[in-house]
Amino acid sequence: MNTQLATEARPRIRRSARATAVLSLGPLTAIAGLVWAIVQPHRITLLDPTDQGFWWLVSQPPLYVMLVGVLFHALVAPGVVADLEEAEERDS
């Protein structure tokens, strides 16, 4: 067995409760949009596109909620967590 693999492993980063809360907002929002789409399927007109225009099919609130959750997680949360970690290092 090769023991170098065990020594090269990165240590796990312990995040604060605030950072964990910020990182969980995006996925929770996306899951809420998915649950909304499942609970109220009549909101998703893609399932029954009869007599619906393109914009009516594309602009559905549950889809927007899922998109906002993904975009928040990918674009906003990393910067906010970096600022939180920087502030915690500065305070300690």
pLDDT tens digits for range 2-49: 666 556 666 677 888 999 999 999 999 999 999 998 888 777 666 666
67-88 tens-digit pLDDT: 999 999 999 999 999 999 999 8
3-state DSSP of 50-63 = CCCCHHHHHCCHHH
Q: Is the dihedral of CA 48, 54, 59, 64 positive or negative?
A: positive
Q: Using a CB cutoff of 8 Å and minimum separation of 24, what contacts does 10-15 make? A: 15/81, 15/85
Instruction: Tell me if the pTM is above 0.85.
Output: no
